[in-house]
Amino acid sequence: MPQSPSSRKSAIALPGKSITDQSVGAQIRHLRQVRGLSLRQLASRVGLSVGHLSQIERGVSSASVRTLAVTADALKVGVSDFFSSDRTDNENIVTRVGERDRVQFGTDGLTKDLLTANGEKRGLDLFLIRMGPNDTSGDTPYSHCGLEAGYVLKGGFELEVEERVHILGEGDACAFESTRPHRFRNAGQREAVVLWANFRHQSTQDAERLTTVKRNNEINKERENLP
């Protein structure tokens, strides 16, 4: 029986070994194989142990904000490309409120809702980030390709860019190059909600290669279903 939009979103939001952990891990593995990289090679590029990366790919362990960002950079895609693409709108123009993909980082309160439908050719991703008290992107600053910007809808948070800390409250906004080492955390006593945008650079060659591989996979599946 098909899931309703609301039940689908609730299932994704569960902590621990969620549906999103499994689908994100499977997509990371797929993109790694498309790039012709071994587990060891990708782990080296993103600063993880082979065992930890293997757990993420199998959906046993959740990836941190930093890990998703640097892994996307290493694979020359955007973070949104790790999410599923089960959309009623095949042009990826509209994302309904009940169809948002959500990733929850471990058992913490930090979540990211993907507000824009994903696709390899899209360069702009829009997220809704929710952070509970003391939630953080990680202890270590990270960097990747592209540009990013944020607007605080509720609460406040600390943004560190190149070791300089900025305190943002409701109505404040920020923008910076993603190549500058950065991290963020909610240093307040209530939930912070931030509208966040990532713009990534991607070569035409990379986009065409991923599109070709995706189409070949679809053709193979169609062949398997032939009588």
For 137-190, the pLDDT digits (tens) are 888 898 888 899 999 999 999 999 999 999 999 999 999 999 899 999 998 889
Beta strands in 48-204 (DSSP E): 101-104, 111-114, 124-131, 147-154, 157-161, 164-168, 173-177, 182-185, 192-199
The band of 69, judged by pLDDT with boundaries at 50, 70 and 90, is confident
Q: Determine contact, residues 152/194, Cβ cutoff 8 Å.
A: yes
- Position 205 scores a pLDDT of 46
Structural domains of the chain, ranges and CATH numbers in brackets: 5-203 (2.60.120.10)
The arrangement of strands across the sheet holding 157-161 comes to 164-168, 157-161, 182-185
Q: For residue 55, is it left (φ>0), alpha (ψ between -120 and 50) or beta?
A: alpha
Percent of the chain with pLDDT over 90: 35
Cβ-based burial of 194 (10 A; exposed 0-12, middle 13-18, buried ≥19):
buried
Q: Give the residue carrying structure tokens 């509208």.
A: 195
| Averaged pLDDT of the chain | 78
Residues paired with residue 219 on neighbouring β-strands, in sequence order: none
Q: Give the residue carrying structure tokens 């890990």.
A: 67
**What's the CA gap between 17 and 34, in Å, rounded?**
25
| Contact residues for 144 (Cβ-Cβ < 8 A; gap 6+) | 69, 70, 72, 73, 178, 179
- Position 164 scores a pLDDT of 95
Whether 122 has a pLDDT exceeding 90, the answer reads no
Check the CA dihedral 52-58-59-63 and report its sign.
positive
Q: Determine contact, residues 128/102, Cβ cutoff 8 Å.
A: no
Alpha-carbon torsion angle 168, 101, 117, 152, nearest 10: -10
- Position 43 scores a pLDDT of 93
The band of 192, judged by pLDDT with boundaries at 50, 70 and 90, is very high
Whether 19 has a pLDDT exceeding 60, the answer reads no
Whether 117 has a pLDDT exceeding 90, the answer reads no
Q: Determine contact, residues 148/199, Cβ cutoff 8 Å.
A: yes
Q: Determine contact, residues 48/67, Cβ cutoff 8 Å.
A: yes
Angle between helices 50-57 and 39-46 (to 10 degrees): 110
